[in-house]
Amino acid sequence: MRLPVAILVALAPSLAAADGTLSMRGVYYKERSTRVMQPMLDGLFDVGTRGLVNAHFLVDAITSASASSGADNQMPFTENRLEAGAGYAHDFDPIRVGAQARYSSESDYRSFYAGVRGEVDLAQKNMTLGAGFGVASDKISAAAAQGPAIPTLSCTPTMSERQCDLTSYIGFASASQIVAKNAVVGLTYDITKLEGYQSNPYRTALADDGIAPERHPTERLRQAIAASMRYYVGRTKTTLVGAYRYYHDDWDVDAHTPEVRVIQQVGATVDATFRYRYYTQDAAFFFRDRYPTTDAAVFPFISDDVKLSEFTDHTFEAKLGVFGETFGMSGRWADARFEGIISYVAQYNRFGNAVIAHAALTVPITY
């Protein structure tokens, strides 16, 4: 998560008399061989008049029969991932700076991320420019393997270990510009350099002469550029959001992601959102459905990663947001927001289609 500093700070005045918000959200995700339940807690708190702290904690309860998760003979098993994060943003008008850290832990994967970012308002706050940098340090093992033995990992072509490292260097820049009283456009650019183990320790690639553990390159440079526009139609109280993202990396994966959202205000306290997202990508240069041989001299890199194959998916989503006032609640509960989301993802690959459901409650708090 990278919540822009401007959004963090902009949210503060909208809290009215409250000094913060507390959000509880539960998410259910289901596809052919994987089910995820994720309860999470998010907090946002004023610190003085110019500071804002955010924090979150979540649990991913993953039940999977997928071999890529470590399942043996397609026997489903469950494991938990814990994640906690916190950040601080300070407003030095017209400059804002922020820092964010996050830690994630599960039996076979630990990740720590730390990053900083800054933003500046220009042209009477009609334009905001932002930039940031972060580093993620991950440690990967095959500890979740359900078979009789925990496999070792080929961290590099010449080194096998129980645990491998992956370091990601992340840079990003953004610009947003008000172009009318009811329209704003944005542009973002992301670049990530990954160094280290990037295979899946449980997956094997299929070849005419047998199977072999995945061998992915240990370096990857990923870049993405995205443009977006928001337009408000006052007569119907409708907001139209359009976005497009282009992604390219040096494994030759190219992806296009257009998305539209229509947000309709219904009265003063209810809003409904409809979202459609299209995603298409082509395959990495070394990906094959089946390799002629597992010989590393012929194919240095082999993979069975669906995410490196050519495919498309479509996401259809509906969201309903309701403030407590709708139900006659008073005090802080009048400003509490209830949210329900249902998504259907049609995936044209072996993951199969997915259903995602959210239920959330955000309550303003004072302290």
Partner 1 sequence: MLCMAISASGCVVVKAHQREALAKRSMTNDREPGEARFGQHATGSREGADGGTGQPGGGCGCN
**Which residue in 21, 50, 29, 40 sits closest to 85, CA to CA?**
40
Q: Which of residues 36-75 bind partner 1 (CB under 8 A)?
A: 36, 38, 40, 42, 44, 54, 56, 58, 60, 62, 64, 66-69
Ordered alpha helix ranges (H), the chain:
5-14
Interface residue with partner 1, options 177, 204, 228, 326 (CB under 8 A): 177
Minimum CB distance to partner 1, residue 92 (Å):
19
* DSSP assignment of 311-348: EEEEEEEEEEEEEGGGGT--GGGGS-EEEEEEEEEEES
Stretch near partner 1 under the rule CB under 8 A, chosen from 89-97, 204-212, 290-298, 345-353: 345-353
Stretch near partner 1 under the rule CB under 8 A, chosen from 154-162, 178-186, 290-298, 326-334: 178-186
d(CA 27, CA 7): 23
Minimum CB distance to partner 1, residue 65 (Å):
11
CB of 276 or CB of 292, closer to partner 1: 276
Q: Which amino acid is at 56?
A: H
Q: Which of residues 199-238 bind partner 1 (CB under 8 A)?
A: 199-203, 222-224, 230, 232, 234
d(CA 359, CA 351): 24
Interface residue with partner 1, options 18, 20, 45, 83 (CB under 8 A): 83
CB of 97 or CB of 178, closer to partner 1: 178
Kind plus residue range of the DSSP H or E element containing 132 = strand 127-141
Contact 116/134 with Cβ under 8 angstroms?
yes
CB of 152 or CB of 177, closer to partner 1: 177
Stretch near partner 1 under the rule CB under 8 A, chosen from 115-123, 205-213, 291-299, 328-336: 115-123
Per CB under 8 A, 259 contacts partner 1: no
Degrees, nearest 5: CA angle 35-39-41: 155
**Which residue in 85, 109, 28 sits closest to 62, CA to CA?**
28
d(CA 136, CA 59): 20
Minimum CB distance to partner 1, residue 180 (Å):
6
d(CA 17, CA 317): 33
Per CB under 8 A, 257 contacts partner 1: yes
- Size of interface with partner 1, in residues (CB under 8 A): 113
Interface residue with partner 1, options 5, 12, 15, 140 (CB under 8 A): 140
CB of 55 or CB of 97, closer to partner 1: 55
Minimum CB distance to partner 1, residue 66 (Å):
5
d(CA 275, CA 317): 5
* DSSP assignment of 10-29: HHHHHTTT-SEEEEEEEEEE
Interface residue with partner 1, options 34, 154, 218, 294 (CB under 8 A): 34
Minimum CB distance to partner 1, residue 314 (Å):
12
